[in-house]
Chain A
Amino acid sequence: MIEQKPAIHTIGIIVTHGDLAEELCRTTELIVGKLTGCYAISGSDFCDEEVIGRIKEIIDQARSSRAIVFVDYFGGSCCINAVRAVRGLKGVKVISGVNLPILLDFITKRDSFEFQEMVDHLINRGKESVRLIEF
């Protein structure tokens, strides 16, 4: 009997200016190994129209009922493009201010929570990750 790989329940799409998306994913891989169900769209590679098209294409083709689009900057062009791409779609959320702690938590815990719980958790994780180091 052929074992089928379980469907990934939540895919992640990272959309940023410059090469940040690619580099965030690459750095996450250094820590947790090869990423699956995680896609980087770096602003230096695509124009606005292509970004919107790429996001829609990824969501369309993924075997998943849930997706989170992580963008770099609230209200920036990546954020606006992400919303343009996913408005009206079910099971898709957009979170701004993506950082390494958020991505690491997403990869390691994405199927452990109900969707809204996970979104709340990731946002808290991001906020908590900014702290003064006492020494």
Chain B
Amino acid sequence: MISLIRIDDRLIHAQVVIGWGRILHPDRIIIADDDVAASDWEQSLYAAATPPEIKVSILTIEETVRRLKGGVFDREKIIILLGHPRSVLGLMDLGLEVDTINVGGLHYAKGKEKILDHVYLDEGEKSALRELVKRGVTLEAKALPESEPIILNSKVV
């Protein structure tokens, strides 16, 4: 059962593991990212950074959808972490149904436009989010569970 689909360019970090983890109590965190899935050192670091009571899977977008659709994680509470808005499109293109995503952290980098404190977007990200809005996805900006949710849909069109 998917508890949360979150976009966060830092993937697994304290805010996710402690901030969200202590409220949602996930059984597993899935990092759905083709680049990280191909990088041994990043996988070891992210896996080691997760507390022992939470399982971690680091998968390509394609593997993520395959396993979810195949029922592999049906009995677990899952948090799916994605580094880029376009990864959500990737999941949906392969048949995963998504109605709301948590836009947690897209951090400042040169050339990005500030939308909120934790949401800075470049053109590519804006365009991917626009496409998600077109597909009926609600973009909810929420850094932590107790943060006031802000719907971003109108801010990206």
Contact = CB atoms under 8 A, between A and B. Distances in A.
B40 to A, nearest CB: 11
Nearest to A72: B14
Contact of B13 (A47, A77, A83): A77
A83 B45 contact: yes
Interface residues of B, number: 16
Contacts of A48: 9-10, 107, 109
Given A83-B41, A87-B41, A76 B109 contact: no
A80 B45 contact: yes
A75 B110 CA distance: 24
B72 interface: no
Contacts of A75: 12-13, 45-46, 48-50
B108 interface: yes
B123 to A, nearest CB: 17
Nearest to B50: A75
A47 B107 contact: yes
Contacts, number: 34
Contacts of B42: 80
Interface in A61-75: 73-75
Interface residues of A, number: 12
A51 B45 CA distance: 18
Contacts of B45: 75, 79-80, 83
A78 to B, nearest CB: 9
A48 B110 CA distance: 10
Contacts of A80: 10, 42, 45
Nearest to B105: A77
A49 B13 contact: no
A47 B108 contact: yes
Nearest to B17: A75
A60 to B, nearest CB: 20
A87 B10 CA distance: 18
B104 to A, nearest CB: 13
Nearest to B12: A75
Interface of B: 9-10, 12-14, 41-42, 45-46, 48-50, 107-110
Given A74-B49, A75-B46, 6 more contacts: A47-B107, A75-B13, A76-B10, A76-B49, A79-B49, A80-B45
